[in-house]
Chain A
Amino acid sequence: MSVDALYQEIILDHYKHPRGKGLLGESLAESFQVNPTCGDEVTVQVAGDPSDVLIGYEGQGCSISQASASVMSEMLNGTPVATIKEKRDAFIELMHAKGLGEPDEEVLEDGVAFAGVAKYPARVKCALLPWMALQDAAIKAGFITEEKS
């Protein structure tokens, strides 16, 4: 089917079996993001310190937004801020590549499965939602200072 590029096995697997889902007991900051066109919701919390950022999340929504949250948390929970920034930039770049991006699996791990999402402009927002929430929470926690979106 033509949507096979969108719904990679990895995405469906993360959707059905989300990794690391759940909120932290205590957090330094959290961010709630919604996608007003379709009602996807995600809350991301951060705790720990800049060398070891702990990430918790909750959400409801489509397969793309929820799988993206799962992939993100699996990749970034317990990593330093520098790693978060590097992977965030790579993921955002991939989402803006209109499906022509060639992601580096070393950097993006399961995130490479989202390459096909970039061909569907309406779904890019879904994929980016948890990343925007993490970005916002990390700024609120003082882990990131730049106002980059």
Chain B
Amino acid sequence: MTTALDVARIKKDFPILSRTVRGGHPLVYLDSAATSQKPECVLDAERAFYETSNAAVHRGAHQLAEEATQAYEDARAAIAGFVGGAPEDLIFTKNATEGINLVSYAFSNATAESAWGGSPDPRFILRPGDSILVTEMEHHANLVPWQQVCARTGATLRWIPLTEDGRLDLSDLGSLIDSSTKMVSVVHQSNILGTINPVRQIMDAAHAVGALGLVDACQSVPHMPVNVDELGADFITWSGHKMLGPTGIGLLWGRSEVLSGMSPFLSGGSMIESVYMDHSTFAAPPNRFEAGVPMVAQSVGLARAVAYLDELGMDAVHAHETELTAYALNALEQAPGVRIIGPTNSVDRGSAISFVVDGIHPHDVGQILDSEGVAVRVGHHCAWPTCRRFGVPATTRISTYIYNDSSDIDVAIEAISTAQRYFGTSTTSKQGCES
């Protein structure tokens, strides 16, 4: 346990954490960067909604429709409040991937509209010679959509390179962001390296040349206090399922002044103002970006998750994670034959820790850990170019959350040495004793 959170008590709120796996091993869940587990109160909130108020929102003249609409809009307000934003600036999406696509399609769509005589917000129009900037540590969700936009518009993709210790190399930022830059989209906290990036500085540099900026906050909003104004971005996106909420719901926050001129992504019901046979006009944000019947029960569940995190206090959550990350980094550094990919100190660093074990492929490491009840992720973590940058085909990653403590790390470390014995690669420990 750490000093900031009562992990033993928290664990009891998560039914899944009491199950066993692979022939009776207690589950040690170290894959929260992929998705978090859900506390009972979130499951209850979703169930209660279905049992009492289920209806399609923003339509229907009956009481249930009214209650469902209220629950949905209350959830929007609660989640917006959690990050210091206004409800009308918060769009519900399926996940962060959709949030990024929503913004990237605003560029493609505006560019196409302008070619046919439309007059979309010029900040979203791209021409050959324009550029979009990302980093070399992006999740595929914040890389592939921008590659696609470039392919459709003739714009050029640029990226901020990485240093050997897994930080952004900002030494050339002045030339990477120039008058050609139209969009800068960067990850706040890397899901593979754990690095927390100085996004404020990067957003300010983008704004200085008139570009727009997006922050992928998938790994930061669940783990540390985030305030939308302080990040200085035009768009911030993240997923509900990584912060104790249900799957199928994500968020895109946008600055109202930017959202108001933005072309819709998906179109159809719910997002219109008026519809005629030959054309339509669109609702104001956020509804303009929420076509079709939305994820109501999930919004209720996510609002409960946010309340749960608020009860713990995001400062305490962050303090807990920093302490546990320092513990895990130290333990992995002491483990013989283990090399961390990413920053090795807990300064500006989150709880996702990737590593490789000499002589054992990550898939095999993960398999042995799994046989000991330890759930980790192996592979390229949807950040294949980042793996290439560090010359590894894949890594093993542990990632912790509020329900983990140092004993979980100890089990994982022990399982790593079991893997080394199994594959016959055990070496003498870095401290000189037999492992």
Contact = CB atoms under 8 A, between A and B. Distances in A.
State yes or no: do A and B come from one complex.
yes
Interface of A: 1-3, 6-7, 12, 16, 37-41, 60-64, 120, 123, 126
Which of B418, B423, B424 has the most chain A CB within a 10 Å cutoff?
A: B423
Contacts of A120: 367
B186 to A, nearest CB: 24
A107 B379 CA distance: 33
A61 B363 CA distance: 8
B139 interface: no
A12 B422 CA distance: 10
Contact of A39 (B22, B384, B423): B384
B127 interface: no
B371 A1 contact: yes
A1 B371 CA distance: 8
Contacts of B371: 1-3
A38 B424 CA distance: 22
Interface size class of B (residues with CB under 8 A): 20 to 34
Given A2-B23, A12-B423, A39 B364 contact: no
Interface string B22-52: 1100000000000000000000000000000
B376 interface: no
A16 B424 CA distance: 10
B380 interface: yes
B367 A3 contact: yes
Nearest to B395: A39
Contacts of A60: 393
Contacts of A41: 393
Nearest to A120: B367
A96 to B, nearest CB: 20
A39 B395 CA distance: 10
* Leading 3 A-B pairs by shortest Cβ distance: A62-B363, A62-B361, A39-B393
Contacts of B394: 38-39
Nearest to B388: A39
Interface string B375-391: 00011100010010000
A41 B361 CA distance: 12
B368 interface: yes
Which of B361, B368, B371, B423 has the most chain A CB within a 10 Å cutoff?
A: B361
A51 to B, nearest CB: 36
B363 A1 contact: no
A128 to B, nearest CB: 14
B368 A3 contact: yes
